Amino acid sequence: MFAVPGARAFTCWNLVARLPMGMFGVSAVIMIVGSRGSYTLAGAVTATGLAATAVLGPWTARLVDRYGQARVAVPATLIAGTGSLALVLCVRLGAPDWTLFAAYVCTATTPNTGGMSRARWAHLFRDDPAAVHTANSFEQAADEVCFMLGPVLAVFLCTSLFPEAGTLTGAVLLLTGVLLFAAQRRTEPPVCAPRAGARSPVRDPHLAALLLTFLATGAVFGSLEVVTIGFADGLGQRGTTGVVLALQAAGSCAAGLLYGLLRPAGPVGRRFARCVAAMAVLMLLPLLAASTGSLPVLAGALLVAGMATAPTMVTGMNLVQSRVAPSQLNEGMTLAVTGLLGGIAAGSAAGGWGVEHLPATAAAYTVPAAAALLALAVTLVAAAARAVSSRRVPDPGRAFSRTRHTE
């Protein structure tokens, strides 16, 4: 991968830009709670920012596809950085609560840096599907590392320096990373003119079904985190929650790197179905482990269960890339990320309900298990529907798919 000229540079700066994605939410909560003393307000502000990202993210990605990464990512990041700075000032100066919402909404213009990096790999290895698979596996492992280290760094900065340190550091890292990433012009994919009459990828029924799977997969992640916190709380060991959840991310990271070494075989849709099935089976392990009442046993189960998530995400992103035209690649991948974020929010709410209302905290692990089974059901139904439609109507995108060697 990194023998390609310019690959090391754009990867390095993209990782710098991506690290703040795991910092902003935690930093905002600590900062707002420290100033206003309200978890409700802090949660509402971050939830509003998440909703705004779900709306604005695909539009930003569409502009990236249409006008290029450098021309769109830099001004979009400047707006997002201004929003972060405005949030810090509003908190510091005691501005009315509504100003916190307005400032945090501005951060929704943050470009999908991971998607832009994957788009570069897809362009560089457009004639080598095995290399694209390896690159996507590396990118997924990088995501896991960033979301594992980001919250830790944010908590350290906010508690050891001052409450606004996490947000300010995240904004500096984001701006620096995006500016230097955008400066790597020789690896930037060329702008592709959209096809005549091209519609948004979300209107493709096959891609829409895939996005539903991403939504259910996000619910697995969101509910697993909340339920694990509740389980550790019940044992009086909340301080170890970070280590336990880090093991799940570490398992996913390791599996992503190992999966990248494998040579993909068979249609990508079939491989995706197998990965989702493996995730559905392995998500039963935390439920069984929690029934023992042992946190170390649960930690081991989460480590193993996490090994199914990265291959699922890697293959899912490969499938998204095969389903959208090159002129809509960033938009398609951002829609997938948006589905994940929406699922994480819904899963967090469902997991919290399970912790509070189910007869035993261990039983709340039925929520991520059920979400994984739902993802499998959606995948299988969509595959069956696609098989029926392909037998009835010739697929106009078949030739396009063949040229990309992905199906």
What are the residue boundaries of the structural domains of the chain, listed by start?
A: 7-191, 201-407
Q: What is the pLDDT of residue 398?
A: 44
Q: In 10 A of CB 98, how many CB atoms?
A: 9
- The class (CATH top level) of 201-407 is mainly alpha
Instruction: Please tell me the distance from the alpha carbon of residue 29 to that of residue 87, in angstroms, as a whole number.
Output: 12
Range in 264-278, 313-327, 380-394 the model is least confident about: 380-394
Percentage of residues in the chain having pLDDT higher than 90? 14
Which residue spans within 98-246 are E strands per DSSP? none
Q: In 10 A of CB 380, how many CB atoms?
A: 13
Mean pLDDT computed over 47-66: 82
Q: In 10 A of CB 8, how many CB atoms?
A: 13
Report residue 128's pLDDT band, with 50, 70 and 90 as the boundaries: confident
Q: What is the pLDDT of residue 202?
A: 66
Q: Which CATH superfamily is domain 7-191 in?
A: MFS general substrate transporter like domains (1.20.1250.20)
Report residue 402's pLDDT band, with 50, 70 and 90 as the boundaries: very low
Contact in structure between 57 and 108 (CB atoms under 8 Å):
yes
Q: What is the pLDDT of residue 122?
A: 84
Q: What is the pLDDT of residue 196?
A: 56
Tokens of 206: 């096959």
Mean pLDDT computed over 268-292: 88
Q: What is the pLDDT of residue 374?
A: 92
Mean pLDDT computed over 364-391: 83
Using DSSP's 3-state secondary structure scheme, residue 127 falls into: coil
Instruction: Please tell me the distance from the alpha carbon of residue 177 to that of residue 85, in angstroms, as a whole number.
Output: 17
Residue 214 has pLDDT above 80, yes or no: yes
Matching fold, domains 7-191 and 201-407: yes
Q: What is the pLDDT of residue 1?
A: 82
Instruction: Please tell me the distance from the alpha carbon of residue 333 to that of residue 344, in angstroms, as a whole number.
Output: 17
Closest residue by Cα to residue 179 from 10, 2, 20, 5: 10
Q: Give the residue carrying structure tokens 């929520």.
A: 367
Instruction: Please tell me the distance from the alpha carbon of residue 244 to that of residue 74, in angstroms, as a whole number.
Output: 37
